[in-house]
């Protein structure tokens, strides 16, 4: 079962998305502390992130860049700020797709299925291992600690996986 993190500050929209995706067999979690998006993502271990642009504290572009320092997890923007500049900025900052509000729920599921299929079915599911404040992204061979990341060689990654 794939895990989807919903970063949407409109509670009605986030609840509707979570409810609809759960009927499709996805495990969902809604961010409720918008100053702790990265921490919530790390704790949850999401396979895909649905990200709004306009959020309390920091915008979705900021959080996408922060997540990208740790992982290549698929990020799909869902926003009513759907002018070309915001779409270009979202993709440039690391988003994999952009869906304009209002959207059809069936289109959302189709895009999620396509991204998950491309990301995980062909390469195997990416796992994050954490111990205290250290995080190891098995798929990317990247170790992160206190906001800093180091890419390991293939052999170093194999050794760390064994440990």
Determine the pLDDT at residue 80: 86
Determine the pLDDT at residue 125: 52
Low-confidence ranges of the chain (pLDDT < 50): none
Q: Which of 130, 116, 124 is nearest to 160 (CA)?
A: 130
CATH number 3.40.50.2300 is the correct assignment for the domain at 3-124: yes
User: Which sign, positive or negative, has the C-alpha torsion 11, 12, 16, 17?
Assistant: negative
Over residues 111-143, the pLDDT tens digits come to 999 999 888 875 555 577 777 778 888 777 888
Determine the pLDDT at residue 120: 81
pTM above 0.75, yes or no: no
Determine the pLDDT at residue 140: 78
Determine the pLDDT at residue 41: 93
Strands, sheet with 134-137, edge to edge from the N-terminal-most edge strand: 128-131, 134-137, 142-145, 148-151
Please state the domain extents for the chain.
3-124, 127-163
CB of 81 within 8 A of CB of 54? yes
User: Which sign, positive or negative, has the C-alpha torsion 144, 137, 70, 26?
Assistant: negative
Determine the pLDDT at residue 48: 95
């Amino acid at each position: 079962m794939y895990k989807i993190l919903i970063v949407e500050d409109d509670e009605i929209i986030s609840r509707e998305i979570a409810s609809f995706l759960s009927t499709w067999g996805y495990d969902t979690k809604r961010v409720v502390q918008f100053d702790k998006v990265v921490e919530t993502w790390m704790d949850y271990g999401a396979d895909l992130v649905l990200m709004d642009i306009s959020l309390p504290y920091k915008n979705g572009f900021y959080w996408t860049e922060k997540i990208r320092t740790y992982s290549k997890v698929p990020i799909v923007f869902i926003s009513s700020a759907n002018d070309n500049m915001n779409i270009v900025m979202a993709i440039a900052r690391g988003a994999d797709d952009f869906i304009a509000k209002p959207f059809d729920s069936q289109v959302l599921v189709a895009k999620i299925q396509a991204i998950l299929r491309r990301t995980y079915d062909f390469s195997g599911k990416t796992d994050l291992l954490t111990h205290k404040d250290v995080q190891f992204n098995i798929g990317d061979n990247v170790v992160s600690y206190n906001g800093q990341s180091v890419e390991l060689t293939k052999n170093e990654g194999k050794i760390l996986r064994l440990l």
